[in-house]
Chains A and B, each alone.
Chain A
Amino acid sequence: MNISRQITSNFLMGAVASESTGNGGDGPTDQMLVQRAQSGDYRAFDQLVTRHRGKVYAMIVNMIHNDADAWDLAQDAFVKAWKALPKFEHRAQFSTWLFRISHNVVYDWMRKKKVRSEGELDDQLLDSSRIDSAARTAPKIPTRPDEQLVQNERREEIEKALSQLSDEHRETILLREVQGMEYTEIADIMECSKGTVMSRLFYARKKLQTLLKS
Protein backbone atom coordinates (compact mmCIF):
# COMPACT_ATOMS: atom_id res chain seq x y z
CA MET A 1 0.00 0.00 0.00
CA ASN A 2 1.47 3.36 -0.96
CA ILE A 3 1.67 6.33 1.35
CA SER A 4 -1.07 8.41 -0.27
CA ARG A 5 -3.45 5.50 -0.10
CA GLN A 6 -2.49 4.83 3.47
CA ILE A 7 -3.18 8.46 4.40
CA THR A 8 -6.49 8.48 2.53
CA SER A 9 -7.48 5.21 4.07
CA ASN A 10 -6.55 6.42 7.54
CA PHE A 11 -8.43 9.65 7.01
CA LEU A 12 -11.55 7.95 5.78
CA MET A 13 -11.51 5.28 8.40
CA GLY A 14 -10.20 7.43 11.19
CA ALA A 15 -13.31 7.19 13.29
CA VAL A 16 -13.57 3.47 13.06
CA ALA A 17 -9.88 2.92 13.51
CA SER A 18 -9.57 5.10 16.57
CA GLU A 19 -12.64 3.47 18.06
CA SER A 20 -11.30 0.04 17.37
CA THR A 21 -7.87 0.66 18.78
CA GLY A 22 -8.97 2.87 21.60
CA ASN A 23 -6.75 5.83 20.74
CA GLY A 24 -9.02 8.66 21.69
CA GLY A 25 -12.31 7.40 20.25
CA ASP A 26 -15.58 8.38 21.82
CA GLY A 27 -16.91 4.91 22.34
CA PRO A 28 -15.36 2.01 24.18
CA THR A 29 -12.49 0.20 22.50
CA ASP A 30 -12.83 -3.25 21.03
CA GLN A 31 -10.81 -4.60 23.91
CA MET A 32 -13.18 -3.12 26.48
CA LEU A 33 -16.21 -4.43 24.65
CA VAL A 34 -14.65 -7.86 24.30
CA GLN A 35 -13.91 -8.01 28.01
CA ARG A 36 -17.48 -7.03 28.82
CA ALA A 37 -18.81 -9.57 26.33
CA GLN A 38 -16.58 -12.25 27.82
CA SER A 39 -18.20 -11.63 31.17
CA GLY A 40 -21.60 -12.28 29.63
CA ASP A 41 -22.71 -8.81 28.50
CA TYR A 42 -24.45 -9.46 25.19
CA ARG A 43 -25.06 -5.74 24.61
CA ALA A 44 -21.31 -5.25 24.41
CA PHE A 45 -21.08 -8.02 21.85
CA ASP A 46 -23.95 -6.44 19.93
CA GLN A 47 -21.89 -3.25 19.71
CA LEU A 48 -19.00 -5.28 18.31
CA VAL A 49 -21.33 -6.78 15.73
CA THR A 50 -22.50 -3.32 14.69
CA ARG A 51 -18.94 -2.06 14.50
CA HIS A 52 -17.51 -4.91 12.41
CA ARG A 53 -20.45 -6.24 10.39
CA GLY A 54 -19.72 -3.93 7.44
CA LYS A 55 -16.16 -5.16 6.98
CA VAL A 56 -17.02 -8.80 7.52
CA TYR A 57 -19.98 -8.64 5.16
CA ALA A 58 -18.01 -6.79 2.47
CA MET A 59 -15.18 -9.28 2.67
CA ILE A 60 -17.53 -12.25 2.34
CA VAL A 61 -19.48 -10.65 -0.51
CA ASN A 62 -16.24 -10.03 -2.37
CA MET A 63 -15.22 -13.62 -1.78
CA ILE A 64 -18.38 -15.44 -2.82
CA HIS A 65 -20.24 -12.89 -4.98
CA ASN A 66 -23.61 -13.74 -3.52
CA ASP A 67 -25.30 -11.24 -1.26
CA ALA A 68 -27.86 -13.54 0.28
CA ASP A 69 -25.33 -16.23 1.18
CA ALA A 70 -22.91 -13.58 2.40
CA TRP A 71 -25.62 -12.27 4.73
CA ASP A 72 -26.06 -15.74 6.25
CA LEU A 73 -22.34 -16.46 6.42
CA ALA A 74 -21.56 -13.15 8.09
CA GLN A 75 -24.14 -13.97 10.74
CA ASP A 76 -22.66 -17.41 11.14
CA ALA A 77 -19.24 -15.86 11.68
CA PHE A 78 -20.55 -13.60 14.45
CA VAL A 79 -22.42 -16.44 16.14
CA LYS A 80 -19.25 -18.54 16.08
CA ALA A 81 -17.30 -15.58 17.45
CA TRP A 82 -19.75 -15.28 20.35
CA LYS A 83 -19.40 -18.98 21.04
CA ALA A 84 -15.60 -18.86 20.92
CA LEU A 85 -15.27 -15.56 22.78
CA PRO A 86 -14.12 -17.17 26.06
CA LYS A 87 -11.12 -18.56 24.17
CA PHE A 88 -10.10 -15.17 22.77
CA GLU A 89 -6.95 -14.12 24.60
CA HIS A 90 -6.27 -10.67 23.11
CA ARG A 91 -3.04 -11.88 21.48
CA ALA A 92 -4.37 -10.55 18.17
CA GLN A 93 -6.74 -7.71 17.45
CA PHE A 94 -10.39 -8.61 17.71
CA SER A 95 -10.91 -7.66 14.07
CA THR A 96 -8.11 -9.99 12.94
CA TRP A 97 -9.54 -12.80 15.04
CA LEU A 98 -12.99 -12.12 13.60
CA PHE A 99 -11.63 -12.23 10.06
CA ARG A 100 -10.00 -15.58 10.83
CA ILE A 101 -13.38 -16.96 11.92
CA SER A 102 -14.98 -15.50 8.78
CA HIS A 103 -12.23 -17.09 6.70
CA ASN A 104 -13.02 -20.52 8.19
CA VAL A 105 -16.77 -20.04 7.76
CA VAL A 106 -16.38 -19.07 4.11
CA TYR A 107 -13.98 -21.92 3.31
CA ASP A 108 -16.21 -24.47 5.03
CA TRP A 109 -19.14 -23.18 3.01
CA MET A 110 -17.20 -23.27 -0.26
CA ARG A 111 -15.95 -26.78 0.49
CA LYS A 112 -19.48 -28.02 1.15
CA LYS A 113 -20.76 -26.25 -1.94
CA LYS A 114 -18.09 -27.85 -4.08
CA VAL A 115 -18.93 -31.27 -2.65
CA ARG A 116 -22.63 -30.73 -3.32
CA SER A 117 -22.00 -29.69 -6.90
CA GLU A 118 -19.57 -32.61 -7.33
CA GLY A 119 -16.64 -30.33 -7.90
CA GLU A 120 -18.26 -28.22 -10.57
CA LEU A 121 -18.05 -24.48 -10.11
CA ASP A 122 -21.38 -22.70 -10.19
CA ASP A 123 -20.76 -20.08 -12.86
CA GLN A 124 -23.96 -18.28 -11.99
CA LEU A 125 -22.42 -17.23 -8.72
CA LEU A 126 -19.68 -15.34 -10.47
CA ASP A 127 -21.80 -13.63 -13.10
CA SER A 128 -23.03 -10.40 -11.56
CA SER A 129 -25.22 -9.68 -14.57
CA ARG A 130 -27.43 -12.57 -13.54
CA ILE A 131 -28.27 -10.98 -10.21
CA ASP A 132 -31.79 -9.67 -10.29
CA SER A 133 -31.60 -5.90 -9.90
CA ALA A 134 -34.94 -5.97 -8.12
CA ALA A 135 -33.80 -8.54 -5.60
CA ARG A 136 -33.98 -7.41 -2.00
CA THR A 137 -30.37 -8.34 -1.51
CA ALA A 138 -29.09 -6.81 -4.73
CA PRO A 139 -26.35 -4.17 -4.47
CA LYS A 140 -27.64 -0.68 -3.84
CA ILE A 141 -28.51 1.47 -6.86
CA PRO A 142 -25.88 4.19 -7.30
CA THR A 143 -26.99 7.74 -6.58
CA ARG A 144 -24.99 9.18 -9.51
CA PRO A 145 -25.65 6.85 -12.41
CA ASP A 146 -23.34 8.65 -14.85
CA GLU A 147 -20.33 8.39 -12.56
CA GLN A 148 -21.23 5.09 -11.08
CA LEU A 149 -21.65 3.52 -14.49
CA VAL A 150 -17.96 3.83 -15.27
CA GLN A 151 -16.98 2.65 -11.81
CA ASN A 152 -19.39 -0.26 -12.01
CA GLU A 153 -17.95 -1.36 -15.32
CA ARG A 154 -14.45 -1.30 -13.89
CA ARG A 155 -15.67 -3.01 -10.76
CA GLU A 156 -17.23 -5.75 -12.82
CA GLU A 157 -13.97 -6.20 -14.71
CA ILE A 158 -12.04 -6.42 -11.47
CA GLU A 159 -14.56 -8.80 -9.92
CA LYS A 160 -14.44 -10.96 -13.02
CA ALA A 161 -10.65 -11.00 -12.90
CA LEU A 162 -10.69 -11.78 -9.18
CA SER A 163 -13.12 -14.63 -9.76
CA GLN A 164 -10.56 -16.26 -12.00
CA LEU A 165 -8.02 -16.41 -9.21
CA SER A 166 -7.89 -19.30 -6.79
CA ASP A 167 -9.71 -18.84 -3.48
CA GLU A 168 -6.44 -18.33 -1.61
CA HIS A 169 -5.12 -15.77 -4.06
CA ARG A 170 -8.41 -13.88 -4.17
CA GLU A 171 -8.63 -13.74 -0.38
CA THR A 172 -5.04 -12.56 -0.07
CA ILE A 173 -5.68 -9.74 -2.53
CA LEU A 174 -8.89 -8.71 -0.77
CA LEU A 175 -7.30 -8.69 2.66
CA ARG A 176 -4.29 -6.75 1.48
CA GLU A 177 -5.69 -4.33 -1.07
CA VAL A 178 -9.25 -3.87 0.12
CA GLN A 179 -8.96 -4.33 3.87
CA GLY A 180 -5.43 -2.89 3.99
CA MET A 181 -4.05 -5.54 6.30
CA GLU A 182 -0.41 -6.22 7.07
CA TYR A 183 1.29 -9.41 5.93
CA THR A 184 1.41 -10.76 9.48
CA GLU A 185 -2.32 -10.19 9.96
CA ILE A 186 -3.11 -11.93 6.69
CA ALA A 187 -0.85 -14.81 7.67
CA ASP A 188 -2.67 -15.03 10.99
CA ILE A 189 -6.09 -15.04 9.33
CA MET A 190 -5.18 -17.53 6.63
CA GLU A 191 -3.10 -19.65 8.98
CA CYS A 192 -0.02 -19.70 6.79
CA SER A 193 3.48 -18.22 6.83
CA LYS A 194 4.25 -14.64 5.97
CA GLY A 195 6.31 -15.84 3.03
CA THR A 196 3.35 -17.76 1.67
CA VAL A 197 1.21 -14.64 1.93
CA MET A 198 3.76 -12.64 -0.02
CA SER A 199 4.14 -15.31 -2.62
CA ARG A 200 0.39 -15.58 -3.10
CA LEU A 201 0.07 -11.83 -3.21
CA PHE A 202 2.68 -11.30 -5.87
CA TYR A 203 1.42 -14.14 -7.98
CA ALA A 204 -2.17 -12.97 -7.67
CA ARG A 205 -1.24 -9.41 -8.57
CA LYS A 206 0.68 -10.51 -11.58
CA LYS A 207 -2.19 -12.63 -12.80
CA LEU A 208 -4.64 -9.81 -12.15
CA GLN A 209 -2.57 -7.42 -14.18
CA THR A 210 -2.55 -9.80 -17.09
CA LEU A 211 -6.28 -10.41 -16.84
CA LEU A 212 -7.16 -6.73 -16.58
CA LYS A 213 -4.92 -5.81 -19.50
CA SER A 214 -6.53 -8.37 -21.71
Chain B
Amino acid sequence: MNNPDESTIQNWLKGELEGNELKQMEAWAEENAAELEAKMGWDALGDEISQALPSEQEPPYADFFNERVKHHAVELVETSPATKAAPLWKRFNWILTPAAMAGMAFCFYLGTRIDQDVATSEQSAAVLEEVYTPASGVHSEVLHSGGITVIVLDGLDEIPDTLDIASGETGHGLSPRMMVKTERENLYF
Protein backbone atom coordinates (compact mmCIF):
# COMPACT_ATOMS: atom_id res chain seq x y z
CA MET B 1 0.00 0.00 0.00
CA ASN B 2 1.22 3.48 -0.83
CA ASN B 3 1.00 6.19 1.77
CA PRO B 4 -2.63 6.26 2.87
CA ASP B 5 -4.49 9.54 2.64
CA GLU B 6 -5.76 11.35 5.70
CA SER B 7 -9.33 10.12 5.37
CA THR B 8 -8.20 6.50 5.20
CA ILE B 9 -6.16 6.98 8.35
CA GLN B 10 -9.10 8.66 10.06
CA ASN B 11 -11.43 5.84 9.07
CA TRP B 12 -8.91 3.31 10.31
CA LEU B 13 -8.62 5.10 13.65
CA LYS B 14 -12.38 5.04 13.99
CA GLY B 15 -12.42 1.30 13.21
CA GLU B 16 -14.47 1.83 10.11
CA LEU B 17 -12.18 0.04 7.66
CA GLU B 18 -13.01 -3.50 6.63
CA GLY B 19 -11.68 -6.31 4.50
CA ASN B 20 -8.68 -5.72 2.25
CA GLU B 21 -8.58 -2.03 3.00
CA LEU B 22 -8.18 -2.78 6.71
CA LYS B 23 -5.49 -5.39 6.10
CA GLN B 24 -3.54 -3.07 3.83
CA MET B 25 -3.79 -0.22 6.29
CA GLU B 26 -2.66 -2.39 9.19
CA ALA B 27 0.25 -3.70 7.17
CA TRP B 28 1.29 -0.21 6.23
CA ALA B 29 0.97 1.04 9.82
CA GLU B 30 3.02 -1.86 11.10
CA GLU B 31 5.82 -1.18 8.66
CA ASN B 32 5.76 2.55 9.22
CA ALA B 33 4.88 2.72 12.91
CA ALA B 34 7.72 5.06 13.88
CA GLU B 35 7.01 7.39 10.99
CA LEU B 36 3.33 7.42 11.76
CA GLU B 37 3.91 8.12 15.44
CA ALA B 38 6.29 10.96 14.66
CA LYS B 39 3.94 12.34 12.03
CA MET B 40 1.07 12.43 14.45
CA GLY B 41 3.13 13.90 17.29
CA TRP B 42 2.35 11.34 19.92
CA ASP B 43 5.71 11.44 21.67
CA ALA B 44 4.96 14.48 23.82
CA LEU B 45 1.71 13.01 24.95
CA GLY B 46 3.38 9.68 25.72
CA ASP B 47 6.01 11.40 27.83
CA GLU B 48 3.39 13.29 29.74
CA ILE B 49 1.37 10.19 30.49
CA SER B 50 4.40 8.18 31.55
CA GLN B 51 5.48 10.98 33.90
CA ALA B 52 2.03 11.39 35.40
CA LEU B 53 1.23 7.74 35.95
CA PRO B 54 3.72 5.48 37.69
CA SER B 55 4.58 2.24 35.96
CA GLU B 56 5.26 0.69 39.33
CA GLN B 57 3.51 1.27 42.63
CA GLU B 58 3.99 -0.92 45.64
CA PRO B 59 0.67 -2.12 47.01
CA PRO B 60 -0.09 -0.92 50.55
CA TYR B 61 1.14 -3.34 53.21
CA ALA B 62 3.31 -5.15 50.68
CA ASP B 63 4.42 -7.91 53.06
CA PHE B 64 0.83 -8.60 54.04
CA PHE B 65 0.00 -8.63 50.34
CA ASN B 66 2.48 -11.48 49.82
CA GLU B 67 1.13 -13.32 52.86
CA ARG B 68 -2.41 -13.10 51.54
CA VAL B 69 -1.34 -14.40 48.15
CA LYS B 70 0.41 -17.30 49.84
CA HIS B 71 -2.59 -18.01 52.05
CA HIS B 72 -4.97 -18.12 49.10
CA ALA B 73 -2.56 -20.06 46.92
CA VAL B 74 -1.94 -22.69 49.58
CA GLU B 75 -5.62 -22.82 50.41
CA LEU B 76 -6.42 -23.31 46.76
CA VAL B 77 -3.98 -26.16 46.23
CA GLU B 78 -2.38 -27.70 49.24
CA THR B 79 0.67 -28.69 47.30
CA SER B 80 2.15 -27.06 44.27
CA PRO B 81 0.02 -27.61 41.18
CA ALA B 82 3.17 -28.70 39.41
CA THR B 83 3.93 -31.47 41.86
CA LYS B 84 0.41 -32.30 42.87
CA ALA B 85 0.00 -36.03 42.61
CA ALA B 86 -2.44 -37.28 40.05
CA PRO B 87 -5.68 -38.69 41.42
CA LEU B 88 -5.57 -42.37 42.31
CA TRP B 89 -7.85 -43.42 39.47
CA LYS B 90 -5.60 -41.62 36.99
CA ARG B 91 -2.47 -43.32 38.25
CA PHE B 92 -4.12 -46.71 37.84
CA ASN B 93 -5.77 -45.83 34.58
CA TRP B 94 -4.15 -48.76 32.76
CA ILE B 95 -5.79 -51.27 35.06
CA LEU B 96 -9.33 -49.94 34.57
CA THR B 97 -10.21 -52.09 31.53
CA PRO B 98 -9.05 -55.46 32.88
CA ALA B 99 -10.59 -54.57 36.25
CA ALA B 100 -13.92 -53.84 34.60
CA MET B 101 -13.82 -57.12 32.69
CA ALA B 102 -12.91 -59.04 35.85
CA GLY B 103 -15.78 -57.33 37.64
CA MET B 104 -18.21 -58.33 34.93
CA ALA B 105 -16.98 -61.94 35.04
CA PHE B 106 -17.32 -61.99 38.81
CA CYS B 107 -20.87 -60.60 38.62
CA PHE B 108 -21.76 -63.26 36.07
CA TYR B 109 -20.31 -65.97 38.31
CA LEU B 110 -22.17 -64.55 41.29
CA GLY B 111 -25.39 -64.59 39.28
CA THR B 112 -25.02 -68.26 38.43
CA ARG B 113 -24.25 -69.07 42.07
CA ILE B 114 -27.33 -67.23 43.29
CA ASP B 115 -29.50 -69.17 40.84
CA GLN B 116 -28.05 -72.43 42.12
CA ASP B 117 -28.56 -71.33 45.70
CA VAL B 118 -32.23 -70.60 45.03
CA ALA B 119 -32.74 -74.05 43.53
CA THR B 120 -30.96 -75.67 46.46
CA SER B 121 -32.97 -73.68 48.96
CA GLU B 122 -36.21 -74.76 47.32
CA GLN B 123 -35.18 -78.38 47.59
CA SER B 124 -34.13 -78.03 51.19
CA ALA B 125 -37.37 -76.19 51.95
CA ALA B 126 -39.28 -79.17 50.62
CA VAL B 127 -37.27 -81.46 52.83
CA LEU B 128 -37.38 -79.30 55.91
CA GLU B 129 -40.92 -77.95 55.56
CA GLU B 130 -43.06 -79.01 58.48
CA VAL B 131 -46.71 -78.52 59.37
CA TYR B 132 -47.69 -77.89 62.95
CA THR B 133 -50.21 -80.45 64.19
CA PRO B 134 -51.69 -79.73 67.63
CA ALA B 135 -53.23 -83.22 68.05
CA SER B 136 -50.75 -85.77 69.29
CA GLY B 137 -50.21 -88.80 67.15
CA VAL B 138 -50.82 -86.87 63.94
CA HIS B 139 -47.97 -86.71 61.45
CA SER B 140 -47.79 -84.49 58.47
CA GLU B 141 -46.05 -84.89 55.17
CA VAL B 142 -45.60 -82.12 52.62
CA LEU B 143 -45.30 -83.09 48.98
CA HIS B 144 -44.55 -80.85 46.00
CA SER B 145 -45.67 -82.07 42.65
CA GLY B 146 -46.02 -80.08 39.44
CA GLY B 147 -46.32 -76.78 41.24
CA ILE B 148 -48.90 -78.17 43.67
CA THR B 149 -48.24 -78.65 47.35
CA VAL B 150 -50.03 -81.53 49.03
CA ILE B 151 -50.13 -81.91 52.80
CA VAL B 152 -50.91 -85.40 53.99
CA LEU B 153 -51.98 -85.75 57.60
CA ASP B 154 -51.72 -89.20 59.08
CA GLY B 155 -53.29 -90.30 62.42
CA LEU B 156 -56.46 -88.14 62.42
CA ASP B 157 -59.76 -89.50 63.86
CA GLU B 158 -62.34 -90.61 61.36
CA ILE B 159 -64.95 -87.99 60.50
CA PRO B 160 -68.44 -89.10 61.74
CA ASP B 161 -71.26 -89.13 59.26
CA THR B 162 -73.40 -86.95 61.54
CA LEU B 163 -71.02 -84.06 61.28
CA ASP B 164 -72.63 -81.23 59.34
CA ILE B 165 -69.61 -79.68 57.64
CA ALA B 166 -71.79 -77.31 55.61
CA SER B 167 -73.07 -75.60 58.76
CA GLY B 168 -69.57 -75.16 60.09
CA GLU B 169 -69.41 -78.01 62.57
CA THR B 170 -65.93 -79.25 63.21
CA GLY B 171 -66.63 -82.08 65.60
CA HIS B 172 -65.50 -80.17 68.67
CA GLY B 173 -68.64 -78.32 69.68
CA LEU B 174 -69.93 -75.31 67.77
CA SER B 175 -67.87 -73.83 65.05
CA PRO B 176 -66.67 -70.22 65.56
CA ARG B 177 -69.28 -69.00 63.09
CA MET B 178 -72.09 -70.78 64.97
CA MET B 179 -70.78 -69.38 68.30
CA VAL B 180 -70.95 -65.87 67.02
CA LYS B 181 -74.47 -66.44 65.75
CA THR B 182 -75.58 -67.89 69.11
CA GLU B 183 -74.04 -65.03 71.06
CA ARG B 184 -75.78 -62.49 68.86
CA GLU B 185 -79.14 -64.21 69.33
CA ASN B 186 -78.64 -64.29 73.11
CA LEU B 187 -77.98 -60.60 73.08
CA TYR B 188 -81.55 -59.77 72.01
CA PHE B 189 -83.23 -61.97 74.61
A173 close to B54 (CB less than 8 A): no
Residue numbers in B under 8 Å from A71 (CB-CB): 59-60, 65
B81 close to A198 (CB less than 8 A): no
Cβ of A209 under 8 Å from chain B? yes
Give Cα A55–Cα B69 distance, bound, in whole angstroms: 16
A75 close to B45 (CB less than 8 A): no
Cβ of B83 under 8 Å from chain A? yes
List the one stretch of A24-32, A76-84, A102-110, A113-121 in contact with chain B: A76-84
Residue numbers in B under 8 Å from A84 (CB-CB): 81
Number of interface residues of A (CB under 8 A): 62
Give Cα A16–Cα B56 distance, bound, in whole angstroms: 11
In which size bucket is the chain B interface?
35 or more
Give Cα A176–Cα B49 distance, bound, in whole angstroms: 10
Give Cα A198–Cα B65 distance, bound, in whole angstroms: 35
B residues 37-94 near A (Cβ < 8 Å) are 40, 42-43, 45-60, 62, 65-66, 68-70, 72-74, 76-77, 79-83
Q: Kindly identify which residue among A53, A83, A199 contacts B13, using a CB–CB cutoff of 8 Å.
A: A199
Known: A46-B70, A79-B72, A195-B30. A202 touches B13 (CB 8 A): yes
A177 close to B50 (CB less than 8 A): yes
A residues 25-62 near B (Cβ < 8 Å) are 37-42, 45-46, 49-50, 53-55, 57-58, 61-62
B56 close to A55 (CB less than 8 A): yes
Give Cα A85–Cα B73 distance, bound, in whole angstroms: 11
Cβ of A96 under 8 Å from chain B? no
Residue numbers in B under 8 Å from A158 (CB-CB): 48-49, 52-53
Give Cα A83–Cα B83 distance, bound, in whole angstroms: 12
Cβ of B33 under 8 Å from chain A? yes
B81 close to A205 (CB less than 8 A): no
Known: A54-B58, A61-B57. A209 touches B13 (CB 8 A): no
Give Cα A195–Cα B20 distance, bound, in whole angstroms: 13
B50 close to A83 (CB less than 8 A): no
Cβ of A111 under 8 Å from chain B? no
11 contacts between A and B (CB under 8 A): A9-B50, A39-B80, A39-B83, A58-B55, A82-B81, A151-B51, A158-B49, A177-B53, A195-B23, A199-B29, A206-B40
- A50-B66, A202-B42 known; 20 other A-B pairs, CB under 8 Å? A2-B43, A2-B47, A37-B82, A40-B80, A40-B83, A42-B80, A67-B60, A71-B65, A74-B65, A75-B69, A82-B77, A136-B60, A151-B51, A151-B52, A176-B46, A180-B55, A193-B26, A195-B22, A199-B13, A206-B13
The 8 closest A-B pairs by CB, nearest first: A195-B26, A40-B80, A54-B56, A58-B57, A40-B83, A155-B52, A57-B59, A82-B73
A residues with a Cβ closer than 8 A to B are: 1-2, 5, 9, 13, 16, 37-42, 45-46, 49-50, 53-55, 57-58, 61-62, 67, 70-71, 74-75, 78-79, 82-86, 136-137, 151, 154-155, 158-159, 173-174, 176-180, 183, 193-195, 198-199, 202-203, 205-206, 208-209, 212
